[in-house]
Structure 1
Amino acid sequence: MTVLTPERAASAAPARPGAPARDRRGRGRAGLVLAAPFAILLTATVLVPIGYALYLSLFTDRLSGLGFSGPTPAFVALGNYVDVLTDSAFHASLGNVALFVLVHIPIMLGLALLLALLVDSAVVRLKRVWSLAVFLPYAVPTVITGLIWAYLYSPGSGLTALLPFDPLGKTGILPSIVTIATWQWVGYNMIIFYTALQAVPRDVLEAARADGAGGFRTAWSVKVPMIRPTAFVALVFTVIGSLQLFTEPLVLRGFTGSVTSTWSPSLYVYEAAFIANDYGRAAAASVLLALVSALLSALVMRLSARRSR
């Protein structure tokens, strides 16, 4: 007598018509339910604000009649974009932030990578203490950081006597802002690099040492190439964050006249929206700044993909 096991019974049972289609529909509905919270948050916090900014950038407020009825929105199409692109103040703000990016990013990321390699090596002891000490400036709010450095840059402090330039002058304000941003963000990126270094296979490092590679050679030829994708990701986020430079110059603006109300593109947007009440021009400048950020990010990712190949 043949014993009918559950496996044989399942294989002998006839397939239900339409069962695979129902299973696919069930999985599709489950996927939609799981993705719904993210889709709602993305729509509410990203897509809707972007759409509203695009809408505002197409309008401007104009006085109608004798002006007794107040300003009314007027459709200007791309007029706000033309005004921003032809504004010398906006050009100057882009130039300032471009110089900031060229100086800040190599120094900050290079220092973060160097510290991460030192902490990952066998030279440094008390690694957790050093990691916490370098990371602590990131935990301080940016406004408080700016105020601390602003007082250090003031003429009454001893720091100014050690510098060959005025940190709040026209030529010294850019290095001062770079110093503030580097001091705050180097620890954050060091932790990212250090985490990536911890994922490097130990057998690869042992093979390099067996081949006679020293500590410097192992770090430069083995560790750094293996964390290159992480470095490119950090570079992308640093570029995006640098283009949005706002708090540091805003705080220093109260201590020096070298920082104007339109020193950076973000300050330009702030001045247009909350001081001049020109929301159309502010929205147009924001959209243009977002486009520049997207283009630079795409360029960095393209370079990253090319180097990976």
Structure 2
Amino acid sequence: MTSFTSARKAAGPPRRRNRGRARSAPYLFVAPFVALFLAFLVAPTLYAIVSSFFGMRRSGLGLDGEGPSLEFVGFDNFRAALGDSEFLAGFGRVFLFGIVQVPVMLGLALVFALLIDSALVRFKKSVQLVIFLPYAIPGVVAALLWGFLYQPGVSPVVGFLESVGVQADFLAPGTVLWSIANVTTWSYIGVNMVILFAALQAIPTDVYEAARLDGAGGLRIALGIKLPLILPTLLLTCLMSIIGTLQLFNEPEVLRSLTSNVSSDFTPNMAILEVTTMGNNRNLGAAMAIVLAVVSLVLSLAVSRFDRSKESPKR
């Protein structure tokens, strides 16, 4: 009896240790993500919020050897950001950009997804790869390639149009925004198509068979069954596209070196970079970044609320 009790006591602690390890294992797997999330997202966000309420103050002529001092300025940086006409004009450009570009891009992605999901397209994997391939090209490289096709004198596209009597200037003041829209559309149709196609693949085939028994054709199935069932996924891609539109930076920054019609504050992100680096005003740049984040949050909440209203059952 004594030997049995001692053996039981000896076996007890290792079991408790194993249970403790099993309970802590999920936290160990999540810890790297949490650490990176806090270090590269939460901490910079908090730093930007705090910095936006401070500013550099200069006293006198600076002849006494004292440099500018950091002082609390309240909402002065936000007033300056909202009073900057060029910064607000950048918002106007990206809003106009998004109103046109996002529906066109998602519409094309939806058409491609529906075609690949249908029986009309053969070699589906190859077609998916061809459409998705532009997304694998970095945005800067894509902008450089398209910039070559846009630039008069070296572009074969412009040369061909001029040979048939069409005068085209893709970098003119009235067309440069849509030239940028073409670059982003070409780059992001593929990834949105893949997301929508994955949602189509998740629809049970029984639904299609029942519709065909009722006499529904391919177009009616696509518009009456497939489209409503993947509407939440479509709204998700719309949300991601809206956020990406507000963060537009790479394409106009690259084309800026090719034309003077793209200014240094053409988009909100470019204006923030200009104020922070060339203007050497990190506090104002932080306030402008917070304004951009708030606008993105408001639009995201609006799309999410619309999504929930579509999913909620009608009474």
TM-score by length of 1: 0.88
How much has 1:76 moved relative to structure 2? Answer: 1.1
Q: What's 2:61 paired with?
A: 66
Provide structure 1 residue ranges, at least 5 long, that are not aligned to the other structure. 1-24
**Equivalent pairs: percent with the same residue?**
43
| Aligned residue among 286, 291, 294 for 2:294 | 291
| Match in the other structure for 1:119 | 116
| CA deviation map 1:93-115 (0-9, x unaligned) | 01000001101100000000000
* CA–CA separation in structure 2 for the residues paired with 1:73 and 1:258: 36
Q: Does 1:185 align with 2:182?
A: no
CA deviation map 1:245-271 (0-9, x unaligned)? 000110111111111111100001010
> Displacement of 1:233 after TM fit?
1.0
Aligned twin of 1:258: 261
Aligned partners of 1:267 and 1:200: how far apart in 2?
A: 42
Aligned positions of 1:1-309 closer than 5 A = 32-33=27-28, 35-67=30-62, 68-156=65-153, 157-160=155-158, 161=161, 165-309=168-312
Give aligned pairs, total.
286
Q: CA deviation at 1:165?
A: 4.5
> Aligned to 1:66, what secondary structure does the other structure show?
coil
Asked if the contact 1:62/1:74 (under 8 Å) is kept, the reply is yes
d(CA) in 1 for partners of 2:262, 2:116: 37
- State how far apart, in whole Å, the 1-side matches of 2:75 and 2:169 are: 42
In structure 2, how many angstroms separate the alpha carbons of the residues matched to 1:109 and 1:304?
A: 16
Q: Which amino acid aligns with 2:179?
A: S
Partners of 1:216 and 1:272 in 2: how far apart? 52
Q: Deviations over 1:220-242 (max 9, x none)?
A: 11111111111111111111111
1:104-161 deviations in Å (ceiling 9; x for gaps): 1000000000001011110001111111011111000111100111110011223232
Q: Distance in 2 between matches of 1:235 and 1:164?
A: 35
* CA distance in 2 between partners of 1:30 and 1:118 (Å): 45
Output the CA distance in 1 between the equivalents of 2:119 and 2:68. 68
Once the two structures are superposed, residues 158-216 of structure 1 have per-residue CA deviations (whole angstroms, 9 ceiling, x without a partner) of 32327665210110011101100000000010011111111110110111111111111
Q: Secondary structure, in 3 states, of the residue corresponding to 2:99?
A: helix
Question: TM-score, normalised on structure 2?
Answer: 0.86
Letter in 2 for 1:269: I
Q: CA RMSD in A?
A: 1.9
Aligned-partner residue type, residue 257 of structure 1: S
